[in-house]
Amino acid sequence: MRVVAVSRDSPYSHIEWAKRLGLNFPLLSDWNGEAVRAFGVAQEMDGLLDTPVRSCFVIDGDGVVRFSQAYASSEVPDADQLLAAAGALSG
């Protein structure tokens, strides 16, 4: 299993976030919004286009989305739910 996070923030800000949060997985930058649009989670917020809806995806080894969940901006994704979805991929 491989974990990555994606945001519209710059790669440079990700370095600081990873340090502050002690993350041990890559933070990828969707600087141009391609992933936001491709995953269908783009929204307009405060006049900014392609602002992502907070979302999580579990993708199998063939690139097929097996689980997706959108969250309100105030919600924190349920780690147990994500781990269960990821664990289901290994059978």
- Report the pLDDT averaged over residues 33-40: 95
Cα–Cα distance for residue pair 81/6, rounded to 1 Å? 19
Count Cα atoms within 13 angstroms, Cβ side, for 42: 14
pLDDT digits 0-9 by tens, 4-19: 999 999 999 999 989 9
Looking at the whole model, is its pTM more than 0.85?
no
Q: Average pLDDT of the chain?
A: 92
Domain residue ranges of the chain, discontinuous segments joined by +: 1-53, 54-91
Spatial CB neighbours of 32, under 8 Å, sequence gap ≥ 6: none
